[in-house]
Amino acid sequence: MQHDRQKDSFLPKEVWGMIIIVLISLLSKSLGSLFPLIGGLLFAIMIGAILQNTTKLPEAFNPGINFTLKVLLKVAIVFLGVGLSLYDILDIGQKALWIIFFSVSIGITMTYFVGKWLRIDKRLTLLIGIGTSICGATAISAVKGIVGAKEDETAYALSTIVFFNLIAFVTYPIIGHLLHISELSFGIWAGTAVHDTSSAVAVGYAFGNEAGEVATTVKLARTLFLIPVMFILPFILRRKTRTVDTNYKKAFPWFVFLFLSVSVLHTFGLIPVFIESCLTSTSKFMIIMVMAAVGLQVRVKDIIQLGYKPLLTGFIASITCAVISLLLIL
């Protein structure tokens, strides 16, 4: 018995979660090929969510799920940079920058006043507003120390973001097709309005390859807005915090530089076509894995327990970001 435990200890703790995610992703990719109108990404979320809410998944899966969401997503984004020219990235960023600015500013402000109207705690309101307007779970994790949020408030905000990410994934492509939006415009919209990086990239690719590439670039630019917000927050709250410096280091998306570096290599033709093709295909499968992990984090009970006020605040914040950015694009 003790010998078996020693053998198990040689395996990374993430391995069990990764196995279930790979299996879900392979099944989702196959189903997506059979039913292209639904697509592998949506199947991955659905299968993950069904498993999470109908079975008691072992705790041993959690490290693998977290690894996929925190590390594998960043690797996938860096690999996506292999097929993007630096000139295209700069051009897209220039077009989207002012849209991001207005969307983030108005989204956070609107959420703050809605939370005040509904008499929700200021800390929870700010977490929902910043998470919705900038970069979902990453933003919430980065600013929770600055606003002095409690663990239950952080959990509420994260559950709200996950819920509206799922709605965005289903509704955005439908709205895009109904309005006959171009892939470029849809990618900018997804990148400026969908909350989490994983969902923004996935929503873009659900619409089309070009939309996915644009959404990835725009979302990374939007993520950088977290840094000035973190500088401003202590002044808004009129409080000092010892965690600010640490949070800056944790929150800054260093992988963006790797993404840009890889695109520079592509721009100057320094990456062989075969390798580019392999990395691009790998990155798209990784995105399916990330969406499977997102599905495995959906807990319907947690969302129901939120009550209507945080959900209503998140809904208004989501609608505000979506409508403002869409109007600015059209």
pLDDT at site 4: 47
Task: Tell me the domain boundaries of the chain.
Answer: 14-329
Mean pLDDT within 84-100 = 83
The angle formed by the CA atoms of residues 73, 79 and 81, to the nearest 5 degrees, is: 110
Lowest pLDDT segment from 7-16, 169-178, 301-310: 7-16
Q: Please give the CATH topology (third level) of the domain spanning 14-329.
A: Na+/H+ antiporter like fold (1.20.1530)
Q: Looking at the whole model, is its pTM more than 0.75?
A: yes
How far is the C-alpha of 14 from the C-alpha of 52, rounded, in Å?
17
pLDDT at site 240: 47
Burial 300-330 (b: 16+ CB within 10 A, else e): eebbeebeebbbbbbbbbbebbbebbbebbe
State residue 119 phi and psi, 5-degree precision: 60, 45
Band the pLDDT of 153: cuts 50, 70, 90.
confident
- Give residues with Cβ within 8 angstroms of 48, minimum separation 6: 24, 291, 292, 293, 294, 295, 296, 297, 298
Mean pLDDT within 36-60 = 88
Band the pLDDT of 144: cuts 50, 70, 90.
confident
Taking 3-state DSSP, the helix, strand and coil percentages for the chain, each rounded to the nearest 5, stand at: 85, 0, 15
Amino acid at 279: L
Higher-confidence position of 141 and 289: 289
pLDDT at site 244: 45
Mean pLDDT within 278-283 = 89
pLDDT tens readout for residues 219-272: 888 887 887 888 787 776 665 444 444 455 555 667 778 888 888 898 888 888
